[in-house]
Amino acid sequence: MASAWLKASTMLTAAVVGLAPAAAARAEPAPPPAAQTVLVQAGDTLWGLARRNGTTVAELQRLNHLGTSTLIRIGQTLILSESSRAARVAVAVAYAKAQIGKPYRFATAGPETFDCSGLVMRAWQAAGVRLPRVTYDQIKVGRRVTRDQLEAGDLVFTNNGGHVMLYIGDGQVVNAGHTGVTVSQQPLPRTERVVAFVRLPD
């Protein structure tokens, strides 16, 4: 009798345990969405890009600050989805890298020659962000970060704030240095040469 009771008790315990709700799994935060951009190729049109990517010409015009224009150029980076910081950074970096090899010329801001602040201004303008024209005003925009906090798109100032470069990630900057050189990709300057690392507002 005792044996039968023990067996029944064991089976009941097993049933209760089996019916107990499992501990809720902890939800992991979703990763941030990737920047949705496209590089314009030969033969692309705004209508064709809109159709291939499930959007509209009007939406592409809005996201890329084109107004009513439908003109796009080869090598231009267009935002396809709602403009996030990642998307804007991707456009600014792509613009700056596309200027590599063009001559430096003081007081110019493209399209064929650039000085340092002109390059940075145009890169961020391509992403829909307006910056002042000169370095001494650009350094006042946004907030200061440390070298360890650097992210692509941040501005790197040297020469007591008289020179600016665009950080593109992986320890590299795009730099329009001085007369006689071309826009180039270079290693990030040593910390002692830098007067400020600046992150633009979202």
pLDDT at site 81: 79
CA–centroid distance for 31 within its chain: 15
Q: Calculate the alpha carbon distances from 173 to 55, 72, 86 in Å.
A: 33, 26, 17
To which CATH superfamily is domain 34-83 assigned? LysM domain (3.10.350.10)
Whether 64 sits among the annotated catalytic residues: the reply is no
Helix (H) / strand (E) containing 118 = helix 116-126
Q: Show me where the domains of the chain are located.
A: 34-83, 100-202
Complete DSSP assignment for 31-83: PPPPP-EEE--TT--HHHHHHHTT--HHHHHHHTT-TT-----TT-EEE-SS-
Q: What is the pLDDT of residues 151-168, one digit of tens each?
A: 999 999 999 999 999 999
pLDDT at site 32: 39
pTM listed for this prediction? 0.66
pLDDT at site 83: 56
Ranges in the chain, pLDDT < 70: 1-35, 82-83
Set 53, 64, 116, 178: catalytic member: 116
Domain boundaries 100-202, corresponding CATH code:
3.90.1720.10
φ, ψ for residue 168 (rounded to 5)? -115, 10
Set 53, 160, 163, 178: catalytic member: 163
User: Residue 109 is encoded by which pair of tokens?
Assistant: 């801001």
Set 64, 159, 175, 178: catalytic member: 175
